[in-house]
Amino acid sequence: MFENLRLAIQGIWSHKMRSFLTMLGIIIGIASIIAIVSTIQGTSEQIKEDLIGAGLNSVNITLYDGDGEVGFYGDSNSATPVITEDQKRKVRKLENVVNATFYYSRSWSNVYYLDKSFSSGTVLGVDQEYLGTKGYVVQTGRGFVERDYKQFNKVALVDTNVVETLFLGENPIGKVLEIEQQPFTIVGIITQPDDYLPKMNSISDYEEMMNNTAGSILIPDKCWPIPYRFDEPQNVIIRADSTDSMSSAGKSTADILNANIDNQTNQTNYSYKADDIMEKVRSMQKLSESTSQQLIWIASISLLVGGIGVMNIMLVSVTERTSEIGLKKAIGARKKTILWQFLTEASMLTSFGGLIGVLSGIGLSKMVSKLTGTPSAISIPAIIGSVVFSMLIGVIFGLMPSVKAANLNPIDALRSE
């Protein structure tokens, strides 16, 4: 075995230029495949980050009346289902749920600071899990504490957008907001790290961002009936333990919330539905991968060409070394020995080409990423598969020349010169 490897390396090295030109088809094919696969994986991860936001894995579960979201439109709706404490406990105990928050939401509210109106923003009545589930951190001041809920303290948190739009950048801590003519004292400023924010890739993303530009004001959910004296639907946000479990966690949460909804409302139109963002992710990834797979098939043609080149050069090598083969067979070398010698040389030739192709592919993917801004992620399985595949090419396309060498008649081989 080691002797065959030594002879293979010696044969390749003695014809360096010819060997390199033979490997060129393998190198180009492997490099192209590595670059394409790396770009596919990088793009897939980028799609996840763009649509979901890195590291948050949150899923919104919203109450629907038929096909439309249930919201407050100025009239009381006593039939709106109520999420019970038992349901909340069950949701938080789900296997793939790290955290969950249940909150009220009202847009276009009557909110004032002195003579300035905040009608375009959002007022939220949140529980103590909201900030952690949404990935918010307290930038200045403090967050809500237990006594705010127990004592119904009329306090509020504002995000950085509110600071800019309503307070024009001034420190709002200690200032009083009027929410539906009820005074709420601001105790803290919250912010969400940029890494947790999804990117804008469409007009709808831009419109949603514009709708939230004015910012959000948070009050304890226990204080929600003070400014808003109506029963309103609660929204739910869960935080899954991984991106891949978002869909299943969202569906399981919706199932729990829908379990006794008919008993509460006597209506069948109401239902909680989870935003299946992962379905959108998978659809976009599938579209991206289907396009890239066509490129992989095109790149594979160069591997076929490279394999034919290996077969050709091995046939030439057999012709050049006919007398050597005859001499070995004359002194007792078996067909199997000759066969393995040439198969080893063909495999080594394509393996070297595969290794060079892998390195070239990694470099090519990095270069494409820098020039076009397209993300790339090096795939270890693709690298291993490429090297193994290149060795198989050597075995497959080197088999015919090796068999030809093994079947040479030693007398005819010795007389060839």
**Which stretches of 192-312 are assigned E, i.e. beta strand?**
216-220, 235-240, 270-274
- Number of separate domains in the chain: 2
H or E stretch covering 112: strand 111-113
Instruction: Compute the distance between CA of residue 271 and CA of residue 62 in angstroms, rounded to an integer.
Output: 8
Q: What was the pLDDT predicted at 51?
A: 56
Answer yes or no: do 397 and 289 share one domain.
yes
Q: Per-residue pLDDT averaged across 30-34, rounded?
A: 82
Answer yes or no: do 46 and 115 share one domain.
no
Q: For 153-173, give one letter per residue: b (16+ CB within 10 A) or e.
A: bbbbbbbebbbebbbeeeebe
Whether residue 322 is predicted with pLDDT greater than 50 in this model: the reply is: yes
Answer yes or no: do 213 and 288 share one domain.
no
- What residues make up the domain containing 36? 2-50+282-414
Residue with more model confidence, 154 or 14: 154
User: Highest mean pLDDT: which of 31-40, 108-117, 283-292, 314-323?
Assistant: 108-117
Domain boundary among 203, 226, 249: 226
366 phi/psi in degrees, rounded to 5: -65, -40
- Could you tell me if residue 246 is inside a domain? no
What angle, rounded to 10 degrees, do the helices at 277-320 and 335-372 form? 140
Instruction: Compute the distance between CA of residue 239 and CA of residue 229 in angstroms, rounded to an integer.
Output: 30
DSSP code, position 15: T
Per-residue pLDDT band at 116 (split at 50, 70, 90): confident
Identify the sign of the CA torsion 162, 164, 165, 170.
Answer: positive
- Could you tell me if residue 302 is inside a domain? yes
Q: Per-residue pLDDT averaged across 401-411, rounded?
A: 69
Whether residue 36 is predicted with pLDDT greater than 90 in this model: the reply is: no
Average pLDDT over all residues of the chain: 77
Whether residue 252 is predicted with pLDDT greater than 50 in this model: the reply is: yes
Q: Are 372 and 46 in contact (CB under 8 A)?
A: no
Whether residue 412 is predicted with pLDDT greater than 70 in this model: the reply is: no
Residue with more model confidence, 308 or 266: 308
Largest CA distance in the chain: 110
Answer yes or no: do 292 and 409 share one domain.
yes
Answer yes or no: do 211 and 310 share one domain.
no
Whether residue 75 is predicted with pLDDT greater than 50 in this model: the reply is: no
Domain boundary among 226, 243, 260: 226
In the chain, pLDDT over 70 holds for what percent of residues? 74
Q: What was the pLDDT predicted at 103?
A: 93
User: Highest mean pLDDT: which of 47-61, 244-258, 391-405?
Assistant: 244-258
Q: Per-residue pLDDT averaged across 219-232, rounded?
A: 86
Residue 185 CB partners (closer than 8 Å, separation 6+): 154, 155, 156, 174, 175, 176, 177
Answer yes or no: do 309 and 390 share one domain.
yes
The closest of 41, 51, 65 to 246, measured between CA atoms, is: 51
H or E stretch covering 157: strand 155-159
Write out pLDDT tens, residues 45-66. Answer: 666 665 555 557 788 888 887 7
The closest of 219, 214, 237, 221 to 108, measured between CA atoms, is: 214
Instruction: Compute the distance between CA of residue 37 and CA of residue 379 in angstroms, rounded to an integer.
Output: 7
Answer yes or no: do 122 and 44 share one domain.
no
Whether residue 374 is predicted with pLDDT greater than 80 in this model: the reply is: no
Q: Are 102 and 268 in contact (CB under 8 A)?
A: no
Q: Per-residue pLDDT averaged across 341-369, rounded?
A: 82
Single pTM value for the model: 0.58
Instruction: Compute the distance between CA of residue 196 and CA of residue 351 in angstroms, rounded to an integer.
Output: 43
Q: What was the pLDDT predicted at 398?
A: 74
- Could you tell me if residue 242 is inside a domain? no
- Could you tell me if residue 69 is inside a domain? no
Q: What was the pLDDT predicted at 91?
A: 92
- Could you tell me if residue 263 is inside a domain? no
Write out pLDDT tens, residues 269-295. Answer: 788 888 766 566 566 556 556 666 666
Q: Per-residue pLDDT averaged across 404-409, rounded?
A: 70
Whether residue 200 is predicted with pLDDT greater than 50 in this model: the reply is: no
- Could you tell me if residue 67 is inside a domain? no
Query: How big is the CA angle at 21 (ends 17 and 26), to the nearest 5 degrees?
Result: 140
Q: What's the burial of 86, exposed, middle or buried (CB within 10 Å: 0-12/13-18/19+)?
A: exposed
Residue with more model confidence, 405 or 126: 126
- Helix/strand/coil for 141: strand
Q: Are 344 and 5 in contact (CB under 8 A)?
A: yes
User: Highest mean pLDDT: which of 129-138, 209-218, 344-353?
Assistant: 129-138
Lowest average pLDDT, out of 104-113, 251-260, 268-277, goes to 268-277
- Could you tell me if residue 101 is inside a domain? no
- Could you tell me if residue 25 is inside a domain? yes
Q: What was the pLDDT predicted at 52?
A: 56
Residue with more model confidence, 36 or 409: 36
Residue 324 CB partners (closer than 8 Å, separation 6+): none
Q: Are 12 and 19 in contact (CB under 8 A)?
A: yes
Per-residue pLDDT band at 76 (split at 50, 70, 90): very low
Instruction: Compute the distance between CA of residue 314 and CA of residue 326 in angstroms, rounded to an integer.
Output: 17
Whether residue 186 is predicted with pLDDT greater than 90 in this model: the reply is: yes
CB atoms within 10 A of CB 231: 16
Domain boundary among 190, 209, 226: 226
In the chain, pLDDT over 90 holds for what percent of residues? 20
End-to-end CA distance of the chain: 29
Q: What is the DSSP string of 219-246?
A: EEGGGTTTT--S--PPEEEEEESSGGGH
Strands 155-159 and 182-191: parallel
Q: Is 341 left (phi over 0), alpha (psi -120 to 50) or beta?
A: alpha
DSSP code, position 269: S
Q: Per-residue pLDDT averaged across 330-358, rounded?
A: 78
Instruction: Compute the distance between CA of residue 340 and CA of residue 264 in angstroms, rounded to an integer.
Output: 78
Instruction: Compute the distance between CA of residue 201 and CA of residue 319 in angstroms, rounded to an integer.
Output: 61
Residue with more model confidence, 71 or 108: 108
Supply 178's token pair.
């009027």
Whether residue 4 is predicted with pLDDT greater than 80 in this model: the reply is: no
Supply 139's token pair.
């930038």
Whether residue 199 is predicted with pLDDT greater than 60 in this model: the reply is: no
Whether residue 191 is predicted with pLDDT greater than 80 in this model: the reply is: yes
Answer yes or no: do 291 and 409 share one domain.
yes
